[in-house]
Amino acid sequence: MIRCKGPHSLPLARGASVPFASIMTSMHYRRFGRLGWQVADIGYGMWGMAGWTGSDDQASLESLDRAAALGCNFFDTAYAYGEGHSERLLGETLKRHPDKRLYVATKVPPLDRVWPGKAETPIGDVFPYAYIREMSEKSLANLGVDCIDLQQLHVWSDAWADDEGWQRAVSELKQAGLIRGFGISVNRWEPANVLKALETGLVDAVQVVYNVFDQAPEDELFPACERLDVGVIARVPFDEGSLTGMLRDGMTWPKGDWRNLYFTPEHLREILPRIARLEALLPDGMPLPELALRFILHHPVVSTMIPGMRKIGHVETNLAASERGPLDPSLVAALRAYRWDRTYDIP
Ligand SMILES: NC(=O)c1ccc[n+]([C@@H]2O[C@H](COP(=O)([O-])OP(=O)(O)OC[C@H]3O[C@@H](n4cnc5c(N)ncnc54)[C@H](OP(=O)(O)O)[C@@H]3O)[C@@H](O)[C@H]2O)c1
């Protein structure tokens, strides 16, 4: 078993970042809300390697190793990513880097396995008390740790905010030392559907879709996180891949790959002209993925972002964006015109 080491907290204001100069790239770190951890401003998303087609465990493990070597110290996984497979890959990575403080975030899947969470579903069908405890034990075993840094709920509806069951489970898991912090991963394109839960004081971090297109978290969620000192994890920084510039008209993925549900022909037809307009805005020498990550870096309330990566090359180029820092304010201002509040019915 790997013991959780205590968080090292430097006295840093939210949004301030410090470089870690003793490594090859100069990774920058930000304070993770009230938990006080110093986390890399570019972390690691671990869904693709255990859920999307084209994954290769060896390549994924090498990518994770490279990220750790370059100073990335925040890794987001979930039980639902391959029914524990992604968690086990992270567990192997933790064992290979016993000298490093790597922060582990995972998630309890909804009992009914329905994404997104819906107000009309009773919370007893989604996150009953005993189930949250049981799934946390399973994740602890998959990860090979005796304490999870951040346990999150994988869907949410604020209709459940007052429920005593999840609140008791979270408090008891913390008291027992089985989790250090607790977070909620909010439904796609519903960033405000967690504000009531934040007011309980039990939520240390929020995970939300935030990227060049999806800027709505800035309206209500980010101010609330700032006020309550809640850590913010920006997920899906590349809009599931469109903001890498690699998608083409008519593209499909092998049967069973979730991206077929997201990039429907209709959605893709709307995305591609927006990508073309974005590419016309790129400063000389800046690839689109770099613009996407450095846009997110501009927001001081974001503690870390978690690009999905399965290849060493992607790890190296993405983590290098940390050193380059936030985009020039004039470019951020121009990107305001690319905000896109979507309403597709997508899981
Ligand atoms: N409900 C939830 O809680 C929820 C939902 C979605 C995602 N998440 C979390 O957020 C993380 C990030 O989201 P995501 O992985 O779905 O999507 P994403 O980060 O927006 O995009 C990932 C895609 O971008 C590609 N990519 C990464 N860097 C690249 C680069 N420099 N150049 C070209 N392509 C690049 C990846 O390729 P390779 O994989 O081939 O490297 C992958 O196809 C997930 O891994 C997961 O941890 C949580």
With a cut of 70, say whether residue 8 has pLDDT above it.
Answer: no
- Rounded to a whole number, what is the largest CA-CA distance in the chain? 55
The Cα 17–Cα 38 span in angstroms is 9
For ligand 1, pick from 76, 106, 236 the residue to mutate: most ligand atoms within 8 Å of CB: 236
Tokens 């949004």: give the residue: 15
Q: Which residue has the higher pLDDT, 109 or 24?
A: 109
**Relative to the CA of 77, which ligand 1 atom is closest?**
47
Quick one: how far is CA 169 from the chain centroid?
23
Residues contacting residue 279 through CB under 8 Å, at least 6 positions apart: 245, 288
Ligand 1 centroid – CA 129 distance (Å): 31
Q: Which residue has the higher pLDDT, 174 or 18?
A: 174
Ligand 1 centroid – CA 241 distance (Å): 7
pLDDT tens per residue across span 133-157: 999 999 999 999 999 999 999 999 9
Q: Which CATH class is domain 18-334?
A: alpha beta
Tokens 């304010």: give the residue: 329
Ligand 1 centroid – CA 274 distance (Å): 19
Instruction: Check pocket membership of 64 for ligand 1, CB cut-off 6 A.
Output: no
Tokens 């037809």: give the residue: 269
Which pLDDT value is given to residue 47? 98
Could you tell me whether strands 148-153 and 103-108 are parallel, antiparallel, or unpaired per DSSP bridges?
parallel
Instruction: Check pocket membership of 207 for ligand 1, CB cut-off 6 A.
Output: yes
Instruction: Check pocket membership of 306 for ligand 1, CB cut-off 6 A.
Output: yes
Ligand 1 centroid – CA 165 distance (Å): 32
Ligand 1 centroid – CA 308 distance (Å): 3
Residues contacting residue 70 through CB under 8 Å, at least 6 positions apart: 23, 24, 25, 27, 315, 316, 319
For ligand 1, pick from 113, 235, 311, 318 the residue to mutate: most ligand atoms within 8 Å of CB: 235
Instruction: Check pocket membership of 67 for ligand 1, CB cut-off 6 A.
Output: no
Ligand 1: which residue has its CA nearest to atom 24? 241
Q: Output the six-digit token pair for 173.
A: 């898991």
The Cα 199–Cα 142 span in angstroms is 32
SS (H, E, C) 232-270: EEEECCCHHHHHHCCCCCCCCCCCCCCHHHHCCHHHHHH
Q: CB–CB of 210/217 below 8 Å?
A: yes
**Relative to the CA of 46, which ligand 1 atom is closest?**
45
Work out the burial of residue 127: count CB atoms within 10 Å of its CB; fewer than 13 is exposed, 13-18 middle, 19 or more buried: buried
Domain boundaries, the chain: 18-334
**Relative to the CA of 307, which ligand 1 atom is closest?**
19
Instruction: Check pocket membership of 55 for ligand 1, CB cut-off 6 A.
Output: no
Which pLDDT value is given to residue 343? 83
Ligand 1: which residue has its CA nearest to atom 10? 235
With a cut of 80, say whether residue 347 has pLDDT above it.
Answer: no
pLDDT tens per residue across span 252-290: 999 999 999 999 999 999 999 999 999 999 999 999 999
pLDDT tens per residue across span 224-241: 999 999 999 999 999 999
Ligand 1: which residue has its CA nearest to atom 37? 309
**Relative to the CA of 235, which ligand 1 atom is closest?**
10
Q: What confidence category does residue 345 fall into, taking pLDDT thresholds of 50, 70 and 90?
A: confident
Tokens 């690691």: give the residue: 44
Q: What is the pTM of this model?
A: 0.94
Instruction: Check pocket membership of 241 for ligand 1, CB cut-off 6 A.
Output: yes
Ligand 1 centroid – CA 237 distance (Å): 7
**Residue 294 phi, psi dihedral angles, 5° rounding:** -75, -20
Q: CB–CB of 40/230 below 8 Å?
A: no
With a cut of 50, say whether residue 332 has pLDDT above it.
Answer: yes
